[in-house]
Structures are given as structure tokens and as C-alpha cells.
Amino acid sequence: MTPSTLIFLLIALVTLGSAAVALSLKDIIRSALLLVVSWAGIAAFYLWAGAEFVAFAQVLVYVGAILMIILFGVVLTRRSPVSISTLVMAPPSRRAFVGLGSGALVAAVIIRAILRTDFPQTAPGAPVPVATMQTLGLELMGQYAGAVLIAGALLTVALLGAVLLAAQEKQPPTQPPGAVAPNRKP
């Protein structure tokens, strides 16, 4: 077994193991934190494959942004301890059937897409196009930089608005001056 294969298997084990544990836990906060490990494993796979820019984007978008939105949403909208055990769950046989059916459907779609795709063949001796970080960044941010900045600003404003709405505590109704509070003797 080559070192490269060993590294790939280690990355796959960590990624799939943390995702499986995240799915099996009943505490939503811990599950969300285990997604960090899974998404970091995907970024490590991209690094192993030589796609540094995609690995950086994976960490920036998923570990940085999406996880923070999930944690803000869960923490700020729930007033009681969050646990999946209070939810009504389908029987294990039905969950297994739905999981296998969903996996078969995804596999069928992927296989069909692969079989129907004509992969371009490069002529022998033809130069292979080189994509550097600079050319990739210029292609992504050249024409669409304004739209990306506006979308980022709108998402930030929406997140701040959601935090402010979720953080507002309901105040008990105030009593007029001189009124006696309930359950107290005058």
C-alpha cells in the first residue's frame, strides 16, 4: 500500500466516520460541531487531490459560514435544550428502507450522468491548459465581483436581522403603580 493510498484511506475514514457519528447523535449542537470535522475532511481530500483553491473555498464557505449560520440558528431560536430524542422517529426498518432507496436513486442519477457525458479527449502532444490560482481568481471575481459583494452584504444584513429578532426577550406585562403582585399578601 502506497503512502498516498494510506493518506486517502485515513482522510476517508475520518470524513465518513465523523459524518456517521454526527448523524447518530441526538444532540444537535454536537452533531453540528462534528460536521466541522467532516467538512474539514472533505477539504483535506481536495488538498490531497491537488485542488488547493477548492479546499480553501470548502473551509471558508462550509466550516466558516454555513456552520456559523447553523449554530446561530439553533442556539438563538431554541429556548429549551435541543434534542432529537423528543421528536417522533419512524421505525428503524422504514428509515433503512428510505435510506437505501435514496442511495439507490442518487447512484442511478450519477451513473446515468456519467454514461451520457462525452468527455473531451485531448490530442496526443497537445498542451494541457494550466489553471493557476491567479487565473482562477480573476475568472471568478472579474466580472461577478460586484454581485458577490452585494450578495455577501445582503446575507450579512439578513443574518444580523435574524439574530436581533431571535434575541428579543418577551417582557412580562407591567402592572399599574400601586397594584399588588399576584401570590403576595398586601
The domain limits of the chain are 7-84
Does the pLDDT of residue 13 top 90, yes or no? yes
Which distant-in-sequence residues (6+ apart) come within 8 Å of 47 by Cβ? 55
Which distant-in-sequence residues (6+ apart) come within 8 Å of 21 by Cβ? 34
Short-list 47, 40, 34, 33, CA closest to 62 = 40
Confidence band for 53, pLDDT divided at 50, 70 and 90 = confident
Confidence band for 87, pLDDT divided at 50, 70 and 90 = low
Query: What is the reported pLDDT for 10?
Result: 92
In this structure, of 27-36, 118-127, 162-171, the range with the lowest mean pLDDT score is 162-171
Average pLDDT, rounded, for the chain = 77
* Model-wide pTM > 0.75: no
Bigger pLDDT: 4 vs 82: 4
Dist CA 107 CA 57 (whole Å): 26
Bigger pLDDT: 138 vs 39: 39
Confidence band for 86, pLDDT divided at 50, 70 and 90 = low
Dist CA 58 CA 179 (whole Å): 59
Using CA atoms, how far residue 155 sits from 51, 69, 92, 184, in Å, is 27, 10, 38, 49
Mean pLDDT score, 68-87:
65
Q: What is the sign, positive or negative, of the torsion defined by CA atoms of 98, 70, 12, 54?
A: positive
Does the pLDDT of residue 128 top 90, yes or no? no
> Which CATH code, of 3.30.1300.10, 1.20.120.1200, 1.10.287.1080, 1.10.760.10, is assigned to 7-84?
1.20.120.1200
Confidence band for 23, pLDDT divided at 50, 70 and 90 = confident
What are phi and psi for residue 49, nearest 5 degrees?
Answer: -80, -5
Mean pLDDT score, 16-38:
86
The helix/strand/coil state of 2 is: coil
Instruction: Decide: 73 and 60 in contact? Cβ < 8 Å.
Output: no
Short-list 150, 120, 135, 133, CA closest to 53 = 133
